[in-house]
Structure 1
């Protein structure tokens, strides 16, 4: 039975992958100002939701990597790297919890 795949789960995973790729493409086309505005939106969404959802973690990882790479100041680079590393940790913990 371990070879059985839920079609619904497969479609959900595929849709999530497509959304992640679309968001990443959108992030990569943004200017520095737009990236900072997106960071504010991300933080507001996190505050509203109250927790990091798996989708938010993946989007945040792309956002903060782009911010880190485009940062003009060392402070923004350090802040972005810190957020990205935190999200990487959260993603790894979520995957570890899901696999157990």
Structure 2
């Protein structure tokens, strides 16, 4: 290979890597991902501390500071409590509630 071919390959490779780091509507930058992971960890910890919620049945996911709660709980009161606890966590901008009450 000659120098020109290597240079072009390097430019194409660098621009491909840079494009992979750019954020889109459905993807996050590395900084956003880290911030969201921290929010998820804080929410899970806070739910674990809350005695009247069975938090092992609650899935927590965060995307751009919006926390989604999903899973099954025993009552609508537990749903309201989980949403309130989640909203109280620093960094949470909104909560998407997909929790459901278990059928008996």
* Fold conserved between structures, TM > 0.5: no
Question: Normalising by structure 1, what TM-score?
Answer: 0.36
The TM-score, its normalising length taken from structure 2, stands at 0.35
Of Structure 1 and Structure 2, the greater strand share is in 2
Which structure has more relative contact order (CA 8 Å, sep 6+)? It is 1
